Amino acid sequence: MIQLEIKNLHVEIIEDNKSKEILKGINLNVDKGNIHALMGPNGSGKSTLANVIMGNQEYSISKGEIIFEGKNITDLKVDEKARLGIFMSFQYPQEIEGVTIRNFLKTAYQNLYGKINVMEFKKILDEKSEILKLDENFSERYLNKGFSGGEKKKSEMLQLAVLNPKFAILDETDSGLDIDALRSVSESINLLKEKNPEMTILIITHYKRILEFIKPDKLSIMIKGKIVMEGNAELVDQLEEKGYGWIEEE
Ligand code: ADP
Ligand code: MG
């Protein structure tokens, strides 16, 4: 079943009083419960697409539609989309002074699902921390303060686990991670997916490394604001051998 349908999406941004088209007619279908990888070289528009799906108002949609579970969500705002179950991790998570992970997550949870008491929330947090094999005290730490790349990703995974969205967009979750951290984050994603097979994951990356640990059901390749090729996990191996050049030349 198609859960997210993007139809002929054109997106532009105003820069120096001129509009610049970044996405040039994207068509993309993501099936419910799939792990769908979106790959492409730097600057091809992957993060722009992620931001637009999530409702970032910085970008303007000049043409096309975004349909989620049969509903036209093209013009909805970030919080409305979040309440429909769409989630996005941040490519460059910010440090927030004086806010513990626990409090940050509780606020985020309540924004989506309404008020929850301390004990109820503790139960959810403990359960998810256990799935992710996180230390008990992890959520008492201040958000992103002094975190290594791997720890930032862990806190993102905990956020994903606690909010338990229908549709998760993971943008460059693999960036800046060494192989052990990458393996650990991939394992977390696989465990969460195992616990909740209904969850759809759109995983965005320009390296194929993470896709050795997380097997995508489908793969779409974006170059210069267009989806130029689609396939399954086997296409990943071709990319490794040939890079993106062979696609661009066609
Ligand atoms: P990717 O995530 O594939 O690396 P991006 O979506 O970040 O690509 O960027 C695609 C293109 O759009 C790049 O040329 C980038 O400079 C431009 N772009 C993206 N966001 C902005 C912005 N907020 N302002 C100006 N240009 C932008
Ligand atoms: Mg990007």
pLDDT for 206 equals: 83
Whole-model pTM? 0.93
- Report d(CA 224, CA 238) in Å as an integer: 20
Protein residues within 5 Å, CB atom, of ion ligand 2: 46-47
Question: In the 8-state DSSP scheme, what is residue 129?
Answer: H
Distance of CA 212 to the CA centre of its chain: 18
Give the residue, by CA position, lying nearest to ligand 1 atom 16.
43
Which residues line ligand 1 at a C-beta cut-off of 6 Å? 13, 15, 22, 40, 42-48, 58
Ligand sitting nearest the alpha carbon of 171: 2
Q: Find all residues with CB under 8 Å of 222, minimum gap 6, and list them.
A: 26, 38, 39, 40, 44, 45, 46, 49, 228
Which residue has its alpha carbon closest to ligand 1 atom 7?
Answer: 47
Q: How many helices (H) and strands (E) does the chain have?
A: 8, 10
pLDDT by 10-residue block (mean), the chain, 250 residues: 98 93 98 96 95 94 98 96 90 72 92 95 96 91 84 90 96 86 93 96 90 94 95 82 66
pLDDT of 92: 57
pLDDT at position 250? 43
CA of 60 to the centre of ligand 2 (A): 17
Query: E strands along the chain, which residues?
Result: 2-15, 18-31, 35-39, 60-68, 71-72, 86-88, 167-171, 200-205, 218-223, 226-231
Residue 118 CA, ligand 2 centroid: distance in Å = 36
Atom of ligand 1 nearest to the CA of 48: 6
98 C-alpha vs ligand 2 centroid, how far in Å? 28
pLDDT for res 93: 57
Would you mind telling me the total number of residues written for the chain in this entry? Answer: 250
The pair of three-digit structure tokens given for residue 244, joined into one six-digit string: 């993106």
15 CA: nearest ligand 1 atom: 25
The pLDDT value given to residue 90: 64
Ligand 1 centroid to 93 CA: how many Å? 17
